[in-house]
Amino acid sequence: MKKHLLTASFTLLLSFAFAQKQNVIRPGEVWPDKDGNHIQAHGGGIIRLGKTYYWYGEERRPGLDTNYRYVSCYSSMDLMNWKFRGDVIALTKPDTVLENNKWVLERPKVFYNATTKQYVMYMHLDGAVKGVSKSAWAYDYASVGVAVSNRATGLFKLIKTFRPLGKESRDIGQFIDDDGSAYLIFECRPVKGFYIAKLSDDYLSVEKEIAFIQSPLEGGAVVHYKGLYYAVGSRLTGWSPNANKVATAVSLAGPWSEFVDIAPPDTRTYSSQSTMFIKVAGTKDTTVIFMGDRWKPTALWDSRYIWMPVQIGEGKLWLPEPKPWTINVKTGKWKQMEDKPAPGK
Ligand code: GAL
């Protein structure tokens, strides 16, 4: 009994320590939300509305009902402290052509449409297709799903699934330009490259091809910085990390430069895969954050986040070795922290 009490108070103490305000991002470590739980927003996407950031991602916590696929939502005012706002969609098998229950919902991205006042979620839906797939685990559906909500925190409702521009679509990415235009990035295996496509005015469909970048890359992420567009992607090695690459262009439509490494290739992007960029334009500085996933395929819930400000400008983008850092979202300034052990370690 005593032992139980002790364990309970220790756990309470630990979660109290975690619930403390955090002023540091520790790439690669467990990232506790305000309740002390490791953030579950893998392969995610971030939007800012007013002063609030919303982070949506793959909910992978253990014990989920395997008949559903879940997307989580977190909110933050400072990019360091995140409050879990719940799972914003619990999706059942979205199409009868899907062969079995091994289908996946990956890389959800939410856009806010100021005209319709709707939140529009895109997600990668995939799995084995009846009469087509040779393996039960195949990614042959290669489609996107669109779900909508009137609130940032859901619930979202699936309205359709389709192939953007009629093409096979696997990893998706989201890009919102400085003028507010919204784009979907999607990888297309048969043509060995990825598309940047403009969404329709209501964001409910993928309207127009802006660029096709012929390079077999996924995890597509784009940022617009000082008159140049930077597109980053990872090679097609599944959950295993590889050396991510970057190309640049003056216009989103291209022409795009050759792809070059964003980090020493032998680090395999510090064991991570690109997901998106967050641009923090503050009163004093603009910081561009690389947001990557360090996947743990056998324990996806325990996958880690590699967030790190990049060195960017004049056509160069470089990811420094991820180390603990802090940011002030008002000024846009970030700085590296001294290496101190995480609380509770
Ligand atoms: C990766 C992709 C992930 C997931 C994984 C499955 O290449 O980026 O989102 O689809 O493959 O193996």
Sign of CA dihedral 261, 262, 266, 271: negative
Q: How many CA atoms lie within 13 A of 315 on its CB side?
A: 7
H helix runs in the chain, sequence order: 2-19, 268-271
* Residue indicated by tokens 């022409």: 255
Query: Which residue, by CA, sits nearest to atom 7 of ligand 1?
Result: 238
Residue ranges for the chain with pLDDT beneath 70: 1-19, 339-345
Q: Tell me the CA–centroid distance for residue 45 and ligand 1, in Å.
A: 15
| CB atoms inside a 10 Å sphere around CB 260 | 14
| Ligand 1 within 6 A of CB of 171 | yes
Query: Which residue, by CA, sits nearest to atom 8 of ligand 1?
Result: 219
Q: Tell me the CA–centroid distance for residue 239 and ligand 1, in Å.
A: 5
- pLDDT of 312: 98
- pLDDT of 20: 77
| CB atoms inside a 10 Å sphere around CB 59 | 24
Q: How many CA atoms lie within 13 A of 294 on its CB side?
A: 18
- pLDDT of 339: 61
Domains of the chain by residue range: 23-336
Q: Are 10 and 26 in contact (CB under 8 A)?
A: no
* Residue indicated by tokens 């914003």: 88
Sign of CA dihedral 165, 203, 279, 153: negative
Q: Tell me the CA–centroid distance for residue 4 and ligand 1, in Å.
A: 41
Q: Tell me the CA–centroid distance for residue 110 and ligand 1, in Å.
A: 19
- Burial class of residue 194 in the structure, from the number of CB atoms within 10 Å of its CB (0-12 exposed, 13-18 middle, 19+ buried): buried
| Ligand 1 within 6 A of CB of 58 | no
Least Cα distance to 46 among 329, 298, 245 occurs for 329
Atom of ligand 1 nearest to the CA of 273: 8
Atom of ligand 1 nearest to the CA of 106: 9
Q: Tell me the CA–centroid distance for residue 241 and ligand 1, in Å.
A: 10
Least Cα distance to 172 among 110, 122, 131 occurs for 122
Q: What is the pLDDT of residues 221-264, one digit of tens each?
A: 999 999 999 999 999 999 999 999 999 999 999 999 999 999 99
Q: Tell me the CA–centroid distance for residue 273 and ligand 1, in Å.
A: 9
Q: How many CA atoms lie within 13 A of 181 on its CB side?
A: 17
Give, for ligand 1, the residue of 102, 106, 139, 140 to mutate: max count of ligand atoms closer than 8 Å to Cβ: 106
CATH 3.40.50.920 corresponds to the domain 23-336 = no
- pLDDT of 195: 98
Residue 44 to residue 274: CA distance in whole angstroms: 10
